[in-house]
């Protein structure tokens, strides 16, 4: 029995070592040191539906009591849209277009930036960005322990997901996700998804960092980013 326990311990150790090596290999393929042309992404409707949504949002915001009562009065199945009402501030045809456009909503580039990945002396990676991607500044990835750190937050909960379906994209890569609630009402959360698209060589990143007490958030970052694989410093 004693020998069996020792054998199982060795097998578990070897399995854990192999899994860590797999994660490190995926990270090395995905996040290479360099400066890369990147685009910040946002979930966007088609342009015609965006204009309709602006009118709809303005009308509903002007009648908060009505919309709450109207929603409460409907018995809808999950995913079923609200029936049209003239108080929505759009025509019935425009509202139908809004419902239709929901299926066309996807991540779209909204601005350009740089993604900079630097190898530190200890072997970890420092991830920074320019412009709207500057919220990444302070993010590090330890390729040995597979730990991410951001300011005073950290996560060791790393998993391999191949492919990973996230935010309407399909990638091969890694996920980190840690969320903690400390009584009575403190929330801290750190998550990172990095990978390569399954249909192109471009990289993809989704980053979230949150610190909140009750409804007051002292930090609330959420960023979608994609980048070209060629280091900008490399001569063409």
Q: What is the 3-state secondary structure (H, E, C) of 177-201?
A: EEEEEECCCEEEEEEEEEEEECCCC
The span from the CA of 1 to the CA of 24, in Å, is 35
pLDDT in the model for residue 16? 40
pLDDT in the model for residue 8? 38
Is residue 71 pLDDT above 80, yes or no? yes
Contact 225, 197 (CB under 8 A): no
pLDDT in the model for residue 10? 39
The span from the CA of 126 to the CA of 205, in Å, is 14
Is residue 179 pLDDT above 70, yes or no? yes
The span from the CA of 118 to the CA of 105, in Å, is 34
Half-sphere exposure of 19 (CA within 13 A, CB side): 13
DSSP 3-state of 102: helix
Is residue 18 pLDDT above 90, yes or no? no
pLDDT in the model for residue 106? 87
Q: Where are the alpha helices (DSSP H) in the chain?
A: 2-30, 47-61, 64-73, 92-101
The span from the CA of 38 to the CA of 191, in Å, is 20
pLDDT in the model for residue 79? 83
pLDDT in the model for residue 37? 96
Both tokens assigned to 47? 């342009």
The pTM of this model reads 0.75
pLDDT digits (tens, 9 = 90+) for 29-60: 999 999 999 999 998 889 899 999 999 999 99
Q: State the sign of the Cα–Cα–Cα–Cα dihedral 71, 73, 79, 83.
A: negative
Alpha carbon separation from 157 to 44, 93, 130, 170 (Å, rounded)? 30, 47, 27, 21
């Amino acid at each position: 029995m004693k020998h069996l326990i020792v054998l199982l311990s060795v097998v578990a150790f070897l399995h854990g070592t192999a899994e860590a090596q797999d994660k490190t290999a995926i990270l090395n393929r995905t996040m290479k040191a360099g400066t890369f042309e990147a685009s910040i992404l946002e979930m966007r409707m088609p342009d015609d539906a965006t204009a309709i949504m602006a009118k709809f949002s303005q009308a509903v915001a002007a009648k908060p009591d009505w919309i709450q009562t109207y929603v409460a009065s409907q018995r809808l199945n999950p995913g079923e849209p609200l029936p049209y009402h003239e108080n929505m501030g759009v025509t019935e045809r425009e509202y139908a277009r809004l419902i239709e456009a929901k299926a066309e909503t996807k991540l779209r580039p909204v601005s350009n930036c740089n993604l900079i990945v630097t190898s530190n002396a200890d072997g970890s990676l420092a991830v920074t960005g320019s412009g709207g991607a500057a919220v990444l500044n302070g993010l590090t990835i330890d390729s040995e322990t597979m730990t991410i750190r951001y300011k005073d937050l950290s996560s060791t909960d790393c998993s391999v997901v191949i492919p990973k379906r996230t935010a309407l994209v399909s990638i091969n890569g890694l996920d980190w996700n840690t969320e903690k609630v400390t009584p009575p009402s403190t929330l801290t959360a750190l998550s990172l998804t990095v990978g390569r698209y399954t249909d192109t060589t471009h990289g993809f990143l989704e980053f979230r960092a949150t610190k909140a007490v009750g409804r007051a958030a002292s930090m609330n970052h959420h960023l979608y980013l994609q980048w070209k694989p060629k280091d900008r410093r490399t001569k063409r």
